[in-house]
Amino acid sequence: MTERIFLTYTNATAVPYQGTTLGHHAVLNYIDADGRLHTLQGMPENKFEHNFPKLRAFIKEEVGSSGASNRDSPFGTLRAHLDDRKDDVDVSRQPYTTVIEGNDLKRQWDATLKFGDHVNATGYEYRPDRRGSSIRP
């Protein structure tokens, strides 16, 4: 089976029901020779489950912070999160961009995971508008 590494995108707007997309959350996906889906994505250390606190944290970081400190983000640090999903996850309905296809991409995927480990060990501040997994349309 041909393996694939590709990006998928979801709406990362704090208020997606409003209708305007301000950015996308990008996820790196790898489908191995056995058809299993593996994902790697940048996520904040501190997540906000509700829109208002998330918006308030966004404003505090992107408007209120001078950027001089790498430790004042309400989101905490950028975390590279690996997930091995079940076979029944359907990513074909999401917008995507193919990165590479081939017969054996395990070496490339392992190099990507090593970079994720580096990100986690370094402790980069999560910046929702600049450093994270957000991509502007």
* Neighbouring C-beta atoms of residue 78, cutoff 10 Å: 22
Q: Could you tell me the two tokens for 107?
A: 């070496």
Domain ranges of the chain: 3-135
Amino acid making up residue 72 = D
Phi-psi region of 19 (alpha: psi -120 to 50; beta: other; left: phi over 0): left
Average pLDDT over residues 50-71: 78
Q: What is the mean pLDDT of the chain?
A: 81
- Reported in sequence order, the residue ranges of the chain that DSSP labels E, i.e. its strands, are 3-11, 24-31, 37-44, 78-85, 96-102, 134-135
What's the pLDDT score for residue 86? Answer: 57
What's the pLDDT score for residue 127? Answer: 79
End-to-end CA distance of the chain: 33
What's the pLDDT score for residue 114? Answer: 96
Q: Is the pLDDT of residue 66 over 80?
A: no
Q: Could you tell me the two tokens for 10?
A: 């979801």
Q: Using CA of residue 91, residue 92, residue 94, residue 95, what is the dihedral sign?
A: positive
Residue written as token pair 């081939």? 102
Helical spans, DSSP H, in 51-130: 51-62, 106-122
Pick the more confident residue, 130 or 57: 57
